[in-house]
């Protein structure tokens, strides 16, 4: 599959640079997604220098603890989950932000597979994945998926599911309506923006579902998607994301 070069009707700042990056990676796919340096044979997606500037959690329990604190601060006991995994702590204007932006908006879907493998290794190494029945990516609205040509959460979720040897149910959740981007919204605005946004259309009755997204900021997206799965009969929800963004 070849990534498509596209510009939306209202391009974000830096769209010319994003198009250049897409073209560069189309012509030279083995370059770092952050600094564009040619990759060595043992490097995947990013060079060692840029990857060293990512901020991984030292332990899976550290990421889970910060995820629980973030969600509890906004939802209290109204949104609970079984387990949670985050690979990195997100910082603005960081190499990780550049990489995630390229994956999500720049057409570099292959980065999602790199992040998905890392996240799958993290979940598997924790020894707490035995009870998970299936993996469900947070869906995009169909119009957004047409615009981007792929759902970055699904690209992340597929290698994660392969690592855990669990089925991926990519169509069990549907996005009911086209929502504004969550970027720049307050916690209250994020919750209002996602009210009634998801509907479960597949059979998840009695299942322990691992819900996957790229970045968690306030937990509003995860909460809305989890609510739809629980209403459809899911027994338990666990969460996994590439990064956790804290207010800085």
- CATH number of the structural domain spanning residue 174: 3.40.50.2020
Phi-psi region of 241 (alpha: psi -120 to 50; beta: other; left: phi over 0): beta
How many other CB atoms sit within 10 Å of the CB of residue 38? Answer: 10
Number of domains in the chain: 1
30: in domain: no
Is residue 131, in this structure, part of any structural domain at all? Answer: yes
Angle at 33 between CA 25 and CA 214, to 5 degrees: 115
Alpha carbon distances (Å) from 86 to 39, 68, 138: 26, 11, 15
- Using CA atoms, how far apart are residues 221 and 198, in angstroms rounded to an integer? 9
Note whether residue 46 is domain-resident: no
Q: Residue 56 carries which DSSP code?
A: B
- Model confidence at 246, in pLDDT bands (50, 70, 90)? confident
What contacts 168, CB < 8 A, 6 or more positions away?
Answer: 134, 135, 136, 137, 154, 157, 158, 161
pLDDT tens-digit series, residues 102-136: 999 888 888 999 999 999 999 999 988 889 999 99
- 50 touches 227 (CB < 8 A): no
Rounded CA separation 79/19 (Å): 39
Q: What is the pLDDT of residues 147-202, one digit of tens each?
A: 888 999 999 999 999 999 999 999 999 988 655 554 555 555 555 555 668 999 88
Domain range holding 201?
55-97+113-245
Share of the chain above pLDDT 90, in %: 60
Straight-line distance from the first to the last Cα atom of the chain, in angstroms, rounded to the nearest whole number: 37
**Residue 108 within any structural domain of the chain:** no
Q: What is the pTM of this model?
A: 0.82
Q: What are 148's two structure tokens?
A: 């981007």
Asked whether residue 152 is assigned to any structural domain, the reply reads yes
How does the average pLDDT of the chain come out, rounded? 84
Q: The tokens 């597949």 sit on which residue?
A: 202
Residue 126: inside a domain, yes or no? yes
Instruction: Tell me the pLDDT band of 13, cut-offs 50, 70 and 90.
Output: very low
Kindly provide the residue ranges of all beta strands, DSSP E only, lying in the chain, ordered along the sequence: 84-90, 134-137, 173-175, 198-200, 208-216, 236-245
């Amino acid at each position: 599959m070849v990534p498509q070069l596209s510009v939306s009707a209202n391009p974000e700042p830096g769209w010319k640079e994003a198009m250049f990056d897409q073209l560069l990676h189309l012509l030279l796919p083995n370059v770092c997604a952050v600094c564009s340096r040619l990759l060595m044979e043992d490097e995947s997606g990013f060079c060692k220098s840029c990857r060293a500037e990512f901020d991984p959690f030292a332990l899976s329990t550290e990421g889970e603890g910060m995820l629980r604190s973030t969600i509890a601060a906004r939802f209290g006991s109204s949104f609970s989950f079984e387990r949670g995994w985050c690979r990195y702590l997100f910082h603005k204007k960081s190499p990780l932000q550049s990489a995630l932006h390229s994956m999500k908006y720049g057409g570099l879907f292959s980065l999602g597979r790199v992040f998905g493998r890392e996240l799958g290794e993290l979940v598997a190494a924790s020894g707490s994945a035995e009870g998970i029945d299936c993996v469900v990516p947070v869906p995009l609205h169909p119009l957004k998926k047409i615009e981007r040509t792929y759902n970055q959460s699904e690209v992340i979720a597929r290698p994660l599911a392969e690592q855990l040897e669990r089925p991926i149910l990519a169509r069990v959740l549907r996005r009911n309506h086209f929502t504004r981007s969550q970027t720049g919204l307050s916690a209250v605005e994020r919750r209002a923006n996602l009210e009634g946004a998801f509907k479960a259309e597949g059979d998840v009755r009695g299942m322990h579902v691992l819900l996957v997204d790229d970045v968690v900021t306030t937990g509003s997206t995860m909460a809305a998607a989890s609510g739809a799965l629980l209403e459809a009969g899911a027994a338990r929800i666990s969460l996994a994301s590439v990064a956790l963004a804290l207010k800085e």
